[in-house]
A and B are shown apart, each in its own frame.
Chain A
Amino acid sequence: MTALIIVVGILAVVGAVGVVLSTQPLYSALSLVFSIGMLAILYLILNAQLLFAVQLIVYAGAVMVLFVFIIALLNPKAEDRPILDVRAVVAFVAVITITAALFATAHNGITYSGSNFRGAVVGASHNDQDPAYTKHAFDFKPADVNSGQAGNVQTVGGQLFTVFLLPFEITSLLLLVAAIGAVYLTRRVPKTEVDT
């Protein structure tokens, strides 16, 4: 499993580098899609099943599609590759520093153990005697969070609709406001007669 994590991580970095270094804007967008896909696989490895699916459905399947639409409609010209001057070196050093800091924090603070993975992908056992498997969504109580099922759809849903209800509703209201604003801003203005 470690090998898989390493490979997926490297591919994600390759995709991200491709976003910056490619000359064609569409290739940048598609590299970003690839990187998002690799991130989704990483989420799956880390027990976050719902996040894996939502990342692919929403991010790679809708948001990036819109990005790609814009690129296709506006058809921007291909750019030149970024020039390696002092600013690029400074940025590179900064990125390396931040990555090393994150790595050190992760290594010391957050642990990964293999026993979590089994619970993540299959939701514990498929044994019909196991109450965790046959639990219906409405049986959920907030105190029942099983560490192996933290990223489970039932778990996340239960938390969203009970413990985190207010932030959830406010966020959806915010999205609604954004959608209405977009519709309003792009409405077709009827031609009015100008009195001179």
Chain B
Amino acid sequence: MKASQYLLDSGLRVGNGVAADPVLVFAVKAAIVVLGLTLAAAFLTWAERKVAGRIQLRYGPNRVGPYGLFQPIADVLKLLFKENLAPATRDKLLFLVGPSLAVGTAILAFAVIPLSAVNHGIGAGYDLHWDISHLNIGLLFILAVTSLGAYSIFLGGWSANSKYSLLGGLRSTAQLISYEMAVSFSLIGVVILTGSLDLEKIVTQQNHAWFVVMQPLAFLLYFTGALAETNRAPFDLPEAEQELVAGYHTEYSSLRFGLYFLGEYVNVITVCAIATTLFLGGWLPIVPFLSFIPGVLWFIGKVAVLILVVMWIRWTLPRLRYDRLMSLGWKVLLPLGLLNIVITGAVVAFQAA
């Protein structure tokens, strides 16, 4: 079977119109998403500093461009011109693989997130899906890719051949795999409600009410677990500056450190996008009256609000100590997730009967 035949059958149904080449459509969508994500992550650094400044009663950066908007460019230039210091006894291959894997898995998880509704029949039999690749096990794919992201932190910590990095990397990896369970359990409630793992179908079924209304506990569990998955405060002990020097990215400098940072911010965007898709109705407007605003803008707006909340939490709450972090994941979030599954399953079963 040829590649284009496969893509045709997989839902990229294109007709004989202008943009008929499925590989081209796929490549354009992928390029847009990858470039957009990296740009968005770069400007998230600006947004973080502005939000942090405002919460601390000061302005953020406002010198470099209008409202400091060119600050990320200045930061990238600074990182590029920094001395690329690396320990001599490091593991050369794995030292490079760590940050690359971090960014790679973060962007890959975005491949199944639909930005807007399917546009049926634009041209002759042309079906435009707004996600790069439409899998019917989309949610499982996201879980699989994020669990592979745990390796990036571990490799970063181990390859630097320094005990601070190793301890930070091990702690962070343990934190990640603990909260993966809690996150997966909180998502199962949504899957029970829709009976499908297909993200587009999940969004279209939130037409009457968003799932955050029906599953508030699951939303809170997912949000907390996702904060822990992305190593954001208040769960950022493994990478905090005051602890363990700087955790697993102690020995990284210049561009590779920038890659880790970028990977973390892309992870934040991905996690907020998943939360939006699953709980906040994706591209659906709040009230049907406002549906003249395109779905993409609704999606981006909701993701932006969630990212603001993530930053707001970071600059409000104190850091959790590591053992309390682990006990929160195993002893609080996991049982609550199970409870959520039981209640949701019971309600759905009784309603179906």
Flag whether B230 is at the interface (Cβ < 8 A): no
Flag whether B170 is at the interface (Cβ < 8 A): yes
Would you list the 4 A-B pairs with minimal beta carbon distance, nearest first?
A: A61-B147, A53-B140, A56-B144, A137-B195
Give the CA-CA distance A117 to B5 in the complex, in Å: 12
Chain A residues with a Cβ under 8 A of chain B: 1, 26, 30, 33, 49-50, 52-54, 56-57, 60-62, 65, 68-69, 72-73, 114, 117-118, 121-123, 126, 136-138, 153-154
10 extra A-B contacts, CB within 8 A, seeds A56-B147, A123-B136, A123-B198: A1-B6, A56-B144, A61-B147, A62-B147, A72-B169, A114-B1, A121-B135, A122-B136, A138-B195, A154-B195
Residues of chain B lying within 8 A (CB to CB) of residue A118:
9-10
Flag whether B197 is at the interface (Cβ < 8 A): yes
A1-B1, A72-B166 known; A62-B158 Cβ under 8 A: no
Residues of chain A lying within 8 A (CB to CB) of residue B141:
53
Give the CA-CA distance A114 to B2 in the complex, in Å: 11
Name the one of A53, A72, A136, A153 contacting B154, with C-beta atoms under 8 angstroms: A72
Tell whether, in the assembled complex, residue A60 and residue B173 are in contact, meaning their CB atoms are under 8 Å apart: no
How close is A128's CB to chain B, nearest CB, in angstroms? Answer: 10
Tell whether, in the assembled complex, residue B151 and residue A65 are in contact, meaning their CB atoms are under 8 Å apart: yes
A65-B173, A69-B173, A122-B10 known; A53-B195 Cβ under 8 A: no
Residues of chain B lying within 8 A (CB to CB) of residue A72:
154, 158, 166, 169-170
Flag whether B346 is at the interface (Cβ < 8 A): no
Residues of chain A lying within 8 A (CB to CB) of residue B158:
26, 72
Tell whether, in the assembled complex, residue A61 and residue B150 are in contact, meaning their CB atoms are under 8 Å apart: yes
Flag whether B29 is at the interface (Cβ < 8 A): no
Residues of chain A lying within 8 A (CB to CB) of residue B173:
65, 69
Flag whether B30 is at the interface (Cβ < 8 A): no
Flag whether B143 is at the interface (Cβ < 8 A): yes
B110-140 vs A, CB cutoff 8 Å, 1 = contact: the mask equals 0000000000000000010000001111001
Give the CA-CA distance A118 to B348 in the complex, in Å: 31
Give the CA-CA distance A1 to B9 in the complex, in Å: 13
Name the one of B6, B137, B166, B348 contacting A153, with C-beta atoms under 8 angstroms: B137
Tell whether, in the assembled complex, residue A50 and residue B147 are in contact, meaning their CB atoms are under 8 Å apart: no
How close is B5's CB to chain A, nearest CB, in angstroms? Answer: 9
Interface-central residue, B1, B170, B180, by most chain A CB under 10 Å: B1
Residues of chain B lying within 8 A (CB to CB) of residue A65:
150-151, 154, 173, 177
Tell whether, in the assembled complex, residue B144 and residue A57 are in contact, meaning their CB atoms are under 8 Å apart: yes
> Which residue of A has the minimal Cβ distance to B351?
A138
How close is A133's CB to chain B, nearest CB, in angstroms? Answer: 9
Tell whether, in the assembled complex, residue B140 and residue A50 are in contact, meaning their CB atoms are under 8 Å apart: yes
A122-B10, A138-B352 known; A61-B1 Cβ under 8 A: no
Name the one of B6, B134, B136, B150 contacting A49, with C-beta atoms under 8 angstroms: B136
Flag whether B28 is at the interface (Cβ < 8 A): no
How close is A25's CB to chain B, nearest CB, in angstroms? Answer: 12
Residues of chain B lying within 8 A (CB to CB) of residue A52:
137, 144
Flag whether B11 is at the interface (Cβ < 8 A): yes
Give the CA-CA distance A7 to B144 in the complex, in Å: 22
How close is A135's CB to chain B, nearest CB, in angstroms? Answer: 8
Flag whether B293 is at the interface (Cβ < 8 A): no
How close is A184's CB to chain B, nearest CB, in angstroms? Answer: 17
A1-B6, A61-B144, A65-B154 known; A53-B136 Cβ under 8 A: no
Residues of chain B lying within 8 A (CB to CB) of residue A114:
1
Give the CA-CA distance A33 to B97 in the complex, in Å: 14
Give the CA-CA distance A62 to B173 in the complex, in Å: 10
Flag whether B148 is at the interface (Cβ < 8 A): yes
Give the CA-CA distance A1 to B150 in the complex, in Å: 31
B320-348 vs A, CB cutoff 8 Å, 1 = contact: the mask equals 00000000000000000000000000001
Residues of chain B lying within 8 A (CB to CB) of residue A53:
137, 140-141, 143-144
> Which residue of A has the minimal Cβ distance to B2?
A1
Chosen A-B contacts, 14 in total, with CB atoms closer than 8 Å, are A49-B137, A53-B140, A53-B144, A56-B148, A60-B144, A61-B144, A61-B177, A69-B173, A72-B158, A121-B136, A122-B10, A122-B11, A122-B134, A122-B136
